[in-house]
Amino acid sequence: MSDVEKPALRSRAWFDNPANIDMTALYLERYLNFGISLDELRSLLEVRDRLADEHDDDARATLVDRLDGYADTAAERCSLLREQLEGVEAVTRTLQREAKAARRRSNTTRTAR
């Protein structure tokens, strides 16, 4: 058995594993799913890795612009998810009110008998 521990799923160590970029991309797609393709996810990971090592100002500026684009995409996805959540919460409140009213009617009917 190895003394090296495997990082837990969803951990920072697992997310930042450059040795297994495909699994990291799948992690992003599965848990963040912010509307970009697997190839774009790979590109995002490449941008992050290159930024850590890039010293040329022009090249860094280009990479930062690309990273900004991914951040914008993620922010748009957050807005969409908030809207969807608000809709689901509204349906939930309606169903809860209906259930409460139905329960009261059932209790009233039983008491009247």
Share of the chain above pLDDT 90, in %: 37
Distance CA 13, CA 7 (A): 6
Judge whether residue 104 has pLDDT over 80.
yes
**Is the Cβ–Cβ distance between 14 and 7 less than 8 Å?**
yes
**Is the Cβ–Cβ distance between 69 and 53 less than 8 Å?**
no
pTM above 0.75, yes or no: no
pLDDT of residue 1: 42
9 to each of 16, 26, 39, 48, 55, how far by Cα in Å? 11, 12, 22, 20, 32
In sequence order, the 6+-apart residues with CB closer than 8 A to the CB of 95 are none
Higher-confidence residue of 71 and 40: namely 71
- How many alpha carbons fall within 13 Å on the CB side of residue 19? 4
**For the segment 36-64, what is each residue's pLDDT rounded down to a tens digit?**
677 787 888 889 889 988 999 999 999 99
Residue-range domain boundaries for the chain: 12-112
**Is the Cβ–Cβ distance between 66 and 47 less than 8 Å?**
yes
What mean pLDDT is reported for the chain? Answer: 80
pLDDT of residue 98: 94
Of 4-13, 36-45, 78-87, the one with minimum mean pLDDT is: 4-13
